[in-house]
A and B are shown apart, each in its own frame.
Chain A
């Protein structure tokens, strides 16, 4: 086939230009390190890159959220840790203060320390984070949860969640009322005197068991029994405690009479009055021991006890309900410890999730790199090949252009 001269020229030129374009592209790939320069180079790959980048940065955000969540939880945990040790100290002080060998002065000194600790506890409940937000007031984070020792909870029960993984929300706070408020047990003894002047009395000496009572205990004096005795019932079990005025000062551990009764030692004193059943029903002294349960802040509980200590009124029958203080402080402590455990398990969950996210992140980075990053070895050898062939094209162009019959005319 004959070929026209201009065609040879044009073809050679086009071929060189094309090679230059390819060379330029390879060079750009090498200098950017990217295999895909425009989405159209590899439409499927570039969409995958977009998706991976999106997932990758979402995961990075989850990791950042996890860091923040962990910081918040650590702050809470250390607060709860201090609260626990303060409560322990308060409990020690209480045990010390309840000891009969104390004088009122001693008890006042103990109460002073207790008040000090109580103020610190209150300060803990009013902790703020780096944003100036109250940590323990739920969603009402601009509201101080407890204004003072006797203050009621001002926050709400909102628990703020953070997203630390796809579909994984983690709570990052606990409302103060779930930590600093708990069941407050108070035991009361009521006496019903039916007739005349009665000198009988029942006092609680010891209730180490500390458990709250499920139903009230009713003591009714009955002198028709032999020997005369208090009949005790909790509604289901009935037992008798032989007693007459001569026994005044008798200490009885109720749980030894019947295991169904609470572990409680009562002291029976005085002379019970009995009206014989002359026409009309028999009547006798009746005592009711009952516990009431309310929800109360630990600050108030401690304060009430400290006041009682100061006033030297710490016997079991003294108000306000000091006999139950150790029980109540234990309940408070266990609520704090429970919350601490919850926080701990959240921190664990955060760490697990972070490991998962780290794994995902590393995997995605690897896949992303496989798709978008250049295989340098291949690209460099391509660059060399393209350079060589461009050079060859240039040299042959010059050679071929020199070929002409006119040179010989």
Chain B
């Protein structure tokens, strides 16, 4: 009788093993599935005649082969890898955008300044002026396009944050529900609900791809999930929803809110695609936008400042070249060309120099720059008109100095042709070592003195507009505009426009490169951890095939026990 019982126990146990093996085989491709194994043990022995007789086999438990340390590691690396992956995918879009020759500001700036030089070459050519306007328009459109593109990346970040938050909410709800089921299923000393545990682990894995999580195991089988700096997402059977809140400082930016109060916890969140989205916005998209905006604003300010100093082809004051100038503040999104008529490009300087015809020396006086920074500056009346000519220079060869006469005030500028030729002097800041003007205004000019003046040689400077404007061939303001290409005007006078753009490209490229490398490293770590995790929990079909054979043989053997038991029983019956 006991033999039959033992055989039966073996059959039942082996059937359990066979079905678990089949379960393993059938779930070979199930995401998150951990292989299971039947743990079997001997049944309680029978005490008979002073001896203990074995009474067969029984299933002690169905184990889930699982290493929670490796599972944690997989989650950590998944979070990090996902963050870098998201970061790198956005950063490389910005990288592509800034680097593409079709959109690059570098090409746009070059085209514009080339056109400016062509106008300087032929100041009266309407076609050259038209090309300059077209190039300026193209440049501002490039700014606009870059701005729109960067805006659209920002929008994508918002959209993706939104969908990620919705997914987090679904997952946390699922985890809370599974916690409930697991608590009920494992209550009262029942075996562990392995497949439910796998499902919950899988949900947590998916969650870790969205944001870094911390898991705390509870005694009742539930797992509590925390994100950020300890915000509880799942506690037992209940979950807390995340939401999207709008940044009050900038309505175009979405942030992650927590709980019913929608408290902004973006700053606390790291890891996963949410972490990636938040970092790439903060470290790549925002700085790029700020940099491009600064570049556009700098372009508007400096080009306008130079342009308004000059005179147009018709002798009118040069207006603003780019818009807007005040409100709204100029940025890459709103920069646009202010001029329509190519004749309105201010190519000429407002000052005409006349060398006195009886000069005996070879001295020259050139106006290098006109300072239009005074808000009251008017190129039509750049110089005071109290006297005619407005400003005179006359040389005293004995004292080796020029006497400057301006609006009734005089000053002297010492000039020794042997050492000072090519001397540049800012008249608006005229001071020591030259004798200062005594009170009154100063001419807003920077001039260069060169050559050897004869005694009493003199120069006279007047407004180009005085007595009718004729200097249509004057290209000095165009040369000054062209010079802005290489002048370091941005960032406190340390960078030219091109430099500034180059630095932006370099920064984005470096961050992208860094994220790419980081992502590859994390991918490698994740692969290795996955390999370890799978080597513990994954299903190997060959192993299962071998197990199938093993358990089949055990089953056959157990069947033989039943047969033998039957034979033994028959021989006993037949002996009567």
Contacts and interface: CB of A to CB of B under 8 A. Distances in A.
Contacts of B543: 2
Interface stretch (A35-43, A84-92, A194-202, A264-272): A35-43
B124 A61 contact: no
A131 B474 contact: no
B102 to A, nearest CB: 14
A142 B541 contact: no
Interface in A189-232: none
A236 B227 CA distance: 108
A6 B539 contact: yes
Contacts of A163: 117, 120, 479, 482
Given A40-B513, A156-B354, A3 B472 contact: no
B337 interface: no
Most chain B CB within a 10 A radius of its CB, from A46, A50, A142: A50
B486 A166 contact: yes
A141 B548 CA distance: 102
A5 B498 CA distance: 55
Given A40-B513, A57-B114, A68-B122, A157 B353 contact: yes
B534 A38 contact: no
Given A43-B510, A161-B479, A295-B357, A140 B473 contact: yes
B29 A51 contact: no
A53 interface: yes
A105 interface: no
B81 to A, nearest CB: 13
Nearest to B472: A142
Contacts of B106: 50, 53-54
Given A132-B124, A163-B482, A405 B545 contact: yes
Contacts of B505: 39, 46-47, 50
A158 B114 contact: no
A50 B540 contact: no
Interface in A37-67: 38-41, 43-44, 46-47, 50-51, 53-54, 57-58, 61, 64-65
Interface string B91-103: 1100110110000
Contact of A54 (B354, B473, B498): B498
B352 interface: yes
Given A39-B509, A40-B516, A406-B545, A156 B470 contact: yes
A46 B124 CA distance: 39
B29 A409 contact: no
A5 B479 contact: no
B542 to A, nearest CB: 5
B575 interface: no
A385 interface: no
Contacts of B340: none
Contacts, number: 182
A61 B506 CA distance: 26
Contact of B110 (A43, A57, A138, A161): A57
B501 interface: yes
B124 A142 contact: yes
Contacts of A65: 117, 121
B125 A39 contact: no
B346 interface: no
Contacts of B542: 5, 404-405
Contacts of A137: 473
Contacts of B506: 39, 43-44, 46-47
A11 interface: yes
Contacts of B530: 7
Nearest to A406: B545
Contacts of B546: 405
Interface in B370-419: none
Interface in B342-379: 348, 352-355, 357-358
Interface in A373-409: 404-406, 409
B540 A142 contact: no
B539 A139 contact: no
Most chain A CB within a 10 A radius of its CB, from B92, B99, B123, B501: B99
A103 interface: no
A11 B527 contact: yes
A49 to B, nearest CB: 9
Contact of A39 (B98, B113, B114): B98
Contacts of A14: 527
A272 to B, nearest CB: 37
A303 to B, nearest CB: 20
A6 B538 contact: yes
A65 B475 CA distance: 13
B494 interface: no
Contacts of B509: 38-40, 43, 46-47
Nearest to A71: B121
A132 to B, nearest CB: 7
A398 B519 CA distance: 29
Given A4-B535, A39-B95, A409-B548, A50 B502 contact: yes
Nearest to B464: A139
B28 interface: yes
Contacts of A54: 106, 109-110, 498, 502
Given A4-B537, A46-B506, A405-B541, 11 more contacts: A38-B96, A39-B506, A43-B510, A53-B106, A131-B122, A139-B352, A139-B464, A142-B472, A142-B473, A157-B355, A177-B357
Q: Lowest 5 A-B CB distances belong to which pairs?
A: A4-B538, A141-B473, A39-B509, A43-B509, A40-B512
18 contacts: A3-B534, A7-B534, A38-B509, A38-B512, A39-B512, A46-B99, A46-B506, A51-B498, A57-B110, A58-B113, A61-B117, A140-B470, A141-B123, A142-B470, A163-B117, A295-B357, A404-B541, A405-B542
